Structure 1
Amino acid sequence: MNKSNGYLKIGLFLFFATSVVGCKNNNDKIIEEKRDQRPNILFIMADDLGFSDLGAFGSEISTPNLDTLAQEGRILTNFHSAAACSPTRAELLSGADHHPVGLGEMSETLAALPVLQGKPGYDGYLNDKSLFLPEILKDHGYHTYMAGKWHLGLTAQTSPQARGFERSFALLEGMDLHFKASTPELARGSTYKEDSVSVTLPANFYSTNFYTDKLIEYIEHNKKDEKPFFAYAAYTAPHWPIQAPNEFIARNQGKYDSGYEIIRKNRFEQQKKLGIIPQDFEIPDFLPANQLTDKAPLWSELTAEQRKIEARKMEVYAGMVENLDYNIGRLISYLKQNNLYDNTLIFFVSDNGPQAIEIDQRPQYNNSYENIGHADSYVQIGSRWAEVSATPFQLFKHTAGEGASSVPAIVRLPHQYKKVQQSSEFVSIRDILPTVLDFADIQRPTTEYKNRQVIPISGLSWKEFLAGKQSSVRGNTFFFGDELHGNKYIRNKEWKLRYQVYPLSMGTGAWELFDLNTDRSERKNVVSQNPEIVKQLIDEYNVYAQKNGVVDLTAIYSSDK
């Protein structure tokens, strides 16, 4: 072989080999650049879970998975929901106050309030003026999944699919049994749909287990395409009726025999120890006897049989919360096992505080002591355990008290494994949409989206605050208002002015003022000592109400006095 030809062949071989390797490296780089690096988003919502019901928030209930999430993320001690289920969910998906987007009043109560029917924003479902977080995310390259409680509309036009969820398994109404009804007489007639198709529940259905299975199934189906996902785990636990698998009830046997006062005191002291509340925080007294609590005396006033039943209720409730925590652990373990956890932004919140009013009694169920918590029982925890659940705050779901809207909240940032100091910054469920859009690098819509006029976002993003680049979300001069069922409040950084209708919500039918710097538990009404502050806050409430189309129900409820 001619030596020069040999060198030429070797040179050509090296040239092409180098070129091929170079092309491969360049292709890898192109593929890497095309791979979507935006975070996955997992939003977990519990139902009627009180502020003190997690171990990380002072509870004796065992919640190791959520406690670990808190250790890897950040506890928010001043996060606020709306006062009840569907208004909170409307604010989550719209980023706006619940009134103009259709949930000025819950669908269940609109029928009893003719004055509200036909008024703008009082639709009883999430209307077309709303932005829809899943729709925005889907339009910008995200997979969108949900499993659980919808409560934002019963029609095809108001379904999860219509609002942007790619896959969904939804309970359309606001509640149901947690097990499949064992007989037709016990069924509540609730509607379940998967991707807008009606479905029948399997025989082994238990709500929290099943919704977790579905969400994992949806994520698993598309995980290989490496697009980010938004997964909404809309659990129905621990909403009444309190029902739980036997093994979770058994874990708590005897734990609540000491009664309301001692459990509440223990939680309160643990909250101080954990730094959830300041050392000088004062807990409000148990509520006095009235039309809501006359059937709920304090522990010392109960008979031995009554104590036995009351303790059993809380054993079941604790079992529901522990099962919820177990399933959240399953979800997080799945993400970790599939290398999805690191790049996932996780939120955990409750939709409102605990339910206290024992409504919707159903005599066809077996509510004997031995059967409480089983599939054919229909029991609620009642007002005294609700006060324990809301520790250290006053009042509960549906009211204007802190116990209604101050709920446990945890956020864990992508690639975060070290706990950040808990935050007492005032934040709201309305803030989730703008926060998520910022993390997803999506420009926020203003007053129009896809040729549709929409209610502007009123929530604020936490992204810079959570990253330590901003000292506050709202600053020192904000005003924030809300209203539901005629109960209303307006607050700023220092003061809260609330109005509780009389007598339905433990109210006086008059404005009450509380100093949030020293009295977030709303123990001391200082309205008479601060007339100028009261006037300013009433003026600000009126601005809020006018802007959001709030119908004033004062005249209706004042006639009950």
Structure 2
Amino acid sequence: MMRQGYLKRVRARLAKDMARVIAAGLVASLSGQALAQAGGDAASAQQQQPLRTQADGSWRYYPNIPKAPKGAPNVLLVLTDDVGFGASSTFGGPIPTPNFDMLARNGLKYTQFHTTAMCSPTRASLLTGRNHHAVGSGSISNVSVDEPGYTSVIPDSAATLGQVLKNNGYDTAWFGKNHNTPDWELGPMGPFTHWPSGMGFDYFYGFNAAGTDQANPPLLENHIGVRRDPNDPDYIFEKDMADHLLAWMSAQNGSNPDKPFFAYYAPGAMHGPQQAPKEWIDKFKGKFDMGWDVVREQILARQKKMGVVAPDTKLAPPLPGVPAWSSLSSDQKRLYARMMEVAAAQLAYTDDQFGRIIARLKDTGQLDNTLIIFIQGDNGAALHNLRGTNNVYSLFAGIEPSDEDMLKDIDRLGSEHVLSNYPVGWGYATNTPFPWGKTVASKLGGLRDGMVISWPKGIADKGGVRTQFSHVIDIAPTIYEAIGIAPPEKVDGVVQQPIDGVALNYTFKDAKAPTRHREQYFEMLGSRAYYKDGWLAGTDVNWKPWGPNKTNPYKATWQLYNLNNDYSQTVDVSAKYPEKLAELRADFDKAAAKFNIYPLSADFFERINSKFRPPAIEANVAHVYYPSDIRYPAAAFPELTPGWEAVAKVTVQGMENGPILNQGGVPSGYALSLENGVPVFTYNPSGRAQERRTVKGGGALAPGTHEISVAFVPADKGFTLTMKVDGKVTQTAPVDRIIRILAGEAIIGRPALDDRTGPRTCGCEIEKVTVGTAKPS
């Protein structure tokens, strides 16, 4: 009864309040009408006007949404990795790429297109339209130095295609490889200015690294680390990447059917590790048994027949130091042929996934007005491992596995268990007909890659071949001209550098149009060249790309080639035309001054270990981590150095199992875990038993809270790996040298990426893990 009385009083009060509100509103309305009639309240009179926009339909107060020019094409930009000019069937190679072939039949094939000889620089030039040194990208981001041309920081004065197209009404997305973020910005806290999101791309799905494990990639979705589907035994990144692009295209077409898109698609193939589905590898069984010497001859014959090269093109001489196939043992032939079968399967499978994207564009009716620029390789094929490897990270540890070691893995090559890379002979073969390969900026094997441009609505000459000199810096201005926009003078208030490239649109209609890009410099790790009107002057090569380069680049001998009648750069004519050589060397020096090429630095391995670049995290301090799903790239986690120590504080109840700290994985890494209550630390820097070391606690931990520490302590000879439990040493192991872990990611309280069989978390309670090179307090 009391509750009913209370509710009755509340309703009565609400009724009275509502009556007052209505009355007040009526009075205000009548008063407003009276004032308006009397002309005494202009503001009230204005309030009575109907809602409207500006006469031209634009917003008065809402921010105007940028719109692309009417009829602007979609743009699909594709760049593969470490693919030689003579690898794909489109350019006469032994690897079938039917979808790339189809694109060439419906578009234009460019046979004198050039890159920078290495990946990060090529990608920086591709995205900005500027020379790589002009945008701080003289070499890959991992070996940057504190000089204007080599910082690895793309400046705000060089807006990317993503930024420009986004500001002109495009939806933008990036899939696959990103190797244009400085090492010290790769951590989970960024900064993200030089991540894809900071370079104008609204969506990113891929990896931040030089290459990736196809079966266990360190994936990122925008800024967040994500894990591959642990329940998919057949997972491979190339398919996953295509799936995500197709999903994004579906959302874009469904949400914004009248808005064009720009998608940058950067597969990992054929960069090591070379991996592919087994059924694809098996398709190539026996296809390379004839060896790399015969394959080179076969490629050149096809190239001539297809019109890819001039009829009188000569095959570059054999690469110094590479054995003739006929000199190999039967076991070596069997092993090396299988490695090439894996590499071929990787590229063929990537092409197959690309075909799904083309099919979707056809299904949605978008193919006709989609400008597709497909660059098959960001430099020449890699010449990294003379005899190949079953672990791509071993090279950085100075370890060259024996043929016997690799033969043990022959049946697992291409799988997630073996991160292999083919021998130099196959890399050289797929650079046919040119000399040398990746990292060599003075030889066409490192510089020239196949490119196809397809745009059914904009290109009428289907299947045409274009021989004009072109360069990766030409792509951005080509896209701008096709869209009908000019490179902006300012972006976000920053005055922009001039575009260095020359748009290729003039070649779309005229196969015989004179080349407009008449001069171009090249430089990479001290090797350098200058092109001018068909002549190429460049430094000689007197080092092995698969090892340290201790030569002085300033003392290199220069050579001269007339590419007008020597397509494959085989005849040095410097003695015959000394004046021309002097002219081009002087031109190079002018370009060097303009684009920040000097000083030169040749030794990649010395630069990768440089301590003179900004750190991703502070050294010589303790870093405290708590268990989570956050993953830390190797560059943003305390590096293994003398004095490195990790201290974990855990609470156990019984015989728990599970991960405490992981970095890397099976091919290279370390892990601290509990195994039936026993602390176990395994240091596995190379994937080989010879370097692997394990230390354990004295037994299963008693219930309660414990402190487990692991440290690398300098010793008379090398180091001592030491484990302590609650301050007492339980086990030690000698370590000859500490090898940096360059691969994978670190994580606290979760398994490594390639561990899908063990516990997902530790059965113990991890309070924290402190890692550093100074003793944690």
User: CA separation in 1, counterparts of 2:436 and 2:74?
Assistant: 36
Q: 3-state SS of the aligned residue for 2:333? A: helix
Structure 1 residue runs of 5 or longer lacking an equivalent are 1-32, 111-116, 182-189
CA separation of 1:34/1:373 partners in 2, compared to 1, >3 Å: closer, same or farther?
closer
Pairing 1:97-112 to 2, within 5 Å after superposition? 97-110=131-144
Pair 399,442 (structure 1): closer, same or farther in 2 beyond 3 Å = same
Is 1:222 matched with 2:252? yes
Q: For residue 422 of structure 2, what is the aligned residue in structure 1?
A: 381
Q: How far apart in 2 are the matches of 1:500 and 1:218? A: 47
Q: CA deviation at 1:221?
A: 0.5
**Contact 2:178/2:206 (<8 A) preserved:** yes
- For 2:265, give the aligned amino acid: A
> CA separation in 1, counterparts of 2:516 and 2:427?
31
Correspondence 1:523 to 2:570: yes
1:386–1:62 CA distance, 2 compared to 1 (3 A): same
Tell me what 2:240 maps to.
210
Q: Which amino acid aligns with 1:218?
A: W
One-letter code of the match for 2:100? L
Q: Deviations over 1:492-515 (max 9, x none)?
A: 122100114542459992111111
TM-superposed CA distance for 1:523, in Å, is: 1.5
Counterpart in the other structure of 1:546: 593
Question: Are the equivalent residues in 2 in contact too, given 1:102–1:123 (CA < 8 A)?
Answer: yes
Equivalence for 1:406: 448
Distance 1:240 1:396 in 2: 15
Determine which of 478, 485, 509 is the counterpart of 2:556: 509
Q: Note the 1:66-81 alignment, pairs <5 A.
A: 66-81=100-115
1:537 aligned to 584, 595, 598, which one?
584
CA distance in structure 1 between the aligned counterparts of 2:432 and 2:506, rounded to whole angstroms: 31
Given candidates 254, 269, 281, the residue that maps to 2:286 is 254
Cα distance in structure 2, aligned partners of 1:408 and 1:539: 30
Give the direction of change, closer, same or farther, for the CA distance of 1:106–1:60 in structure 2 (3 Å limit): closer
Task: Kindly provide the amino acid, as one letter, of the partner of residue 372 in structure 2.
Answer: I
How many Å apart are 1:420 and its aligned residue? 4.0
CA shift, 1:126, in A, is 2.6
Correspondence for 1:462 among 493, 504, 518:
504
Change (3 A) 1:361 1:457: same
Contact 1:514 1:520 (8 Å CA) reproduced: no
> Any idea what SS the aligned residue of 2:134 has?
coil
RMSD: 2.4
Which residue number in structure 1 is paired with residue 775 of structure 2?
Answer: none
Deviates more, 1:201-210 or 1:486-495: 201-210
How many angstroms apart in 2 are the aligned matches of 1:395 and 1:101?
26
- The within-5 A match list for 1:149-298 is 149-153=177-181, 154=186, 155=190, 156-180=192-216, 190=218, 192-203=219-230, 204=232, 205-224=235-254, 225=256, 226-289=258-321, 293=322, 297-298=323-324
Q: Given the superposition, is the C-alpha separation of residues 238 and 488 from structure 1 closer, same or farther in structure 2, using an over 3 Å criterion? A: same
Counterpart of 2:378 in structure 1 is 351
Whole-Å Cα distance in 2 between the matches of residues 442 and 34 of structure 1? 9
Cα distance in 2 for residues equivalent to 1:127 and 1:221: 32
Report the Cα offset of residue 520 of structure 1.
Answer: 2.7
Equivalent position amino acid for 1:547 in 2: K
Q: Is the 8 A contact 1:284 1:392 kept in 2?
A: yes
Find the residue that maps to 1:212 and give its secondary structure: helix
- Contact 2:82-2:378 within 8 A present in 1 as well: yes
Which amino acid is the alignment partner of residue 198 of structure 1? G
Change (3 A) 1:328 1:418: farther
Match of 1:313 among 315, 339, 342: 339
Alpha-carbon separation, structure 2, partners of 1:469 and 1:312: 41
Kindly indicate whether residue 469 of structure 2 is the aligned counterpart of residue 426 of structure 1: yes
TM-score (norm 2): 0.62
Give the 3 Å change call, closer, same or farther, for CA 35–481 of structure 1 in structure 2. Answer: closer
Structure 1 residue 451 displacement after superposition: 1.1
Cα gap change, 1:545 to 1:263, in 2 (>3 Å): same
- Structure 2 counterpart of 1:527, which letter? S
Residue 467 of structure 1 deviates from its aligned partner by: 3.1
Structure 1 residue 361 corresponds to structure 2 residue 394:
yes
Task: Please give the alpha-carbon distance, in whole angstroms, between the structure 2 residues aligned to 1:352 and 1:442.
Answer: 29
What do the CA deviations read for 1:32-71 (whole angstroms, capped 9, x no partner)?
A: x999421001111111111111112112322111111111
Structure-2 residue corresponding to 1:59: 93
Which residue of structure 1 aligns with residue 60 of structure 2?
Answer: none
Q: Do the aligned partners of 1:86 and 1:152 also contact (CA within 8 Å) in 2?
A: yes
Q: Secondary structure at the match of 2:529?
A: strand
Structure 1 residue aligned with 2:435: 394
For residue 108 of structure 1, give the secondary structure of its aligned residue in structure 2.
Answer: helix
Aligned match of 2:493: 451
Tell me, in whole angstroms, the C-alpha distance in 1 between the residues paired with 2:429 and 2:603.
Answer: 31
The alignment partner of 1:149 has SS state of strand
List per-residue Cα deviations over 1:409-439 (Å, max 9, x = no partner): 1011242576242011101110111110111
Give distance in 2, aligned partners of 1:148 and 1:378: 19
Change (3 A) 1:229 1:241: same
CA contact (8 A) 2:140 2:179 kept: no
Mapped partners of 1:34, 1:431: distance in 2:
21
Distance 1:298 1:92 in 2: 37
CA distance in structure 2 between the partners assigned to 1:199 and 1:551 by the alignment: 40
What's the offset of the Cα at 1:521?
1.7
Distance 2:154 2:69 in 1: 34
Distance 2:602 2:267 in 1: 37
User: Superposition pairs for residues 34-49 of structure 1, below 5 Å?
Assistant: 36-49=70-83
Q: Write the letter of the residue equivalent to 1:149.
A: K
CA contact (8 A) 1:130 1:455 kept: yes
**Does residue 120 of the first structure (1) align with residue 148 of the second (2)?**
yes
Question: SS in structure 1 opposite 2:241?
Answer: helix
Q: 1:134 to 1:34 in 2, by over 3 A?
A: closer
- Secondary structure, aligned partner of 1:422: strand
Contact conserved, 2:273 with 2:421, CA < 8 A, in 1? yes
- Aligned residue for 1:170, secondary structure, equals strand
Query: d(CA) in 2 for partners of 1:177 and 1:417?
Result: 40
Q: Is the 8 A contact 1:490 1:537 kept in 2?
A: yes
Is this contact kept in 1: 2:464–2:511, CA < 8 A? Answer: no
Higher mean alpha-carbon deviation, 519-528 vs 548-557, is at 548-557
Corresponding residue of 1:332: 358
- Structure of larger gyration radius: 2
Distance 2:431 2:69 in 1: 44
Highest RCO, 1 vs 2 (Cα 8 Å, sep ≥ 6): 1
For residues 356 and 92 of structure 1, the distance between their equivalents in structure 2, rounded to whole angstroms, comes to 23
TM-score by length of 1: 0.85
Aligned-pair CA distance for 1:105: 2.3
Distance in 2 of aligned mates of 1:53 and 1:411:
18
Native 8 Å contact 2:106 2:456 kept in 1: no
- Higher helix fraction: Structure 1 or Structure 2? 1
Mean Cα displacement is larger for which, 422-431 or 437-446?
437-446
Moved more, 97-106 or 483-492: 97-106
SS in 1 for 2:382: coil
Q: Post-superposition shift, 1:378?
A: 1.9
Pair 1:487 & 2:527 matched: yes
Separation in 1, partners of 2:68, 2:153: 39
Question: Unaligned 5+ residue runs, structure 2?
Answer: 1-66, 386-391, 605-777
Give 1:404 deviation, angstroms: 0.8
**Does the CA contact (< 8 Å) of 1:180 and 1:202 recur in 2?**
no
One-letter code of the match for 1:372?
Answer: L
Deviation at 1:123, TM superposition (A): 1.4
Paired position in structure 2 for 1:24: none
Bigger mean CA offset, 265-274 vs 356-365: 356-365
Q: How many angstroms apart in 2 are the aligned matches of 1:553 and 1:418?
A: 43
Partner of 2:449: helix, strand, or coil?
Answer: coil
